[in-house]
Amino acid sequence: MPWNEADRERYNIVRERYTSDLSDEEYALIEPLLPQPKRRGRKPTPARTILNAIFYLARCACPWRYMPKDFPPYTTVQNRFYQLRDSGILTQIICLLVQNAREQAGREAAPTAVIVDAQSVKTAESGGPRGYVAGKKVKGRKRHIAVDTLGLPTECQITPADVQDRDALAPILRSVKRKSPWVKVAFADGGYNGDEAQRAAFEASRIEVVVVKRTDKKNQRLRRSTEAMDRRTDPRLDQPLPQISKRLRGHNRIGPRLDANCLHCDTAAPTGL
């Protein structure tokens, strides 16, 4: 398909900045959620510039002090990031983006089913809590991720790598229920098998846990039930989690390794959606 003048103008603007920067349409979508600048004191750094610096850091995995000089001072970006993270604004931005992406795909804004899994990654040299997984021979941390049937993030929690998957099931489903109270069922693999873990998760969240095994002959029936609950068109249960894993691997700050003071893994969503 040949380029037209609108495409040329769009990509000429992209060449003038970093590819991780927000476009005008993207910033207009999340701008209403950002805190208003204070009326008194010195003139604050624009919020869009701060977000561009955060996305650059998440994508390129450079240390705070190695941030390019055309961004604000790294201390300013660091403090503003901590404020956005601790106030829950980043979580609100991610929820808004997920809802818009689901509506564009023809789904309801809120999911009714999630898929839970965990992945162990090595840590950086800066230290912090960590554990060792003998089965995978990985010393580091483990990220527990819950995604909807489109592969969009719903919840992510970080623990030492030696924490068992089933032990983290109840906390992550409790957070999922708090964010999306319409979720009724969670699908998981054999690592979450266990009556006590599933009972604790149900008591904490009122979400039914269904363990799907690769050799289970009832997979087809379970897939049909997933399609009925979330209006799903793609019957493959193993597709959403590889999607979110690829999205995380594309952001080097949070993909291959997790620093002690790492960016929250959900911050990949704004640039990955």
Q: Is the pLDDT of residue 268 over 50?
A: no
CA distance 214 to 65: 46
Strand pairing partners for 67?
A: none
Give the ranges where the chain is alpha helix by DSSP (H): 5-15, 24-30, 47-60, 74-87, 89-104, 169-179, 195-205, 219-230, 240-249, 268-272
**What does the DSSP 8-state code read for residue 44?**
P
CA distance 224 to 199: 24
Tokens of 23: 């476009």
At the top level of CATH, the class of 109-262 is alpha beta
pLDDT, tens digit, 9 for 90 and up, residues 185-215: 999 988 898 899 999 999 999 999 999 876 6
Q: In the prediction, which pLDDT does 59 show? A: 86
pTM value > 0.85: no
Would you say 119 and 245 are in contact if contact means Cβ atoms under 8 Å apart? yes
- Which pLDDT band, with edges at 50, 70 and 90, does 78 fall under? very high
Query: Across the chain, how many H-helices and E-strands are there?
Result: 10, 7
What count of residues does the chain have? 273
Rg (CA), the chain: 20
Residue ranges per domain, the chain? 5-87, 109-262
pLDDT, tens digit, 9 for 90 and up, residues 83-95: 999 999 998 999 9
Tokens of 222: 């379970």
Q: Is the pLDDT of residue 80 over 90?
A: yes
pLDDT, tens digit, 9 for 90 and up, residues 100-138: 999 999 999 999 999 999 988 888 666 678 888 888 888
CA distance 124 to 116: 25
pLDDT, tens digit, 9 for 90 and up, residues 130-166: 888 888 888 889 999 999 989 899 999 999 999 999 9
pLDDT, tens digit, 9 for 90 and up, residues 6-64: 766 666 655 567 888 888 888 999 999 998 888 887 888 999 999 999 999 988 888 89
Q: In the prediction, which pLDDT does 273 show? A: 45
Would you say 208 and 185 are in contact if contact means Cβ atoms under 8 Å apart? yes
Amino acid at 138: V
Amino acid at 239: Q
- Mean pLDDT of the chain, nearest integer: 79
Place of tokens 């979400």: 207
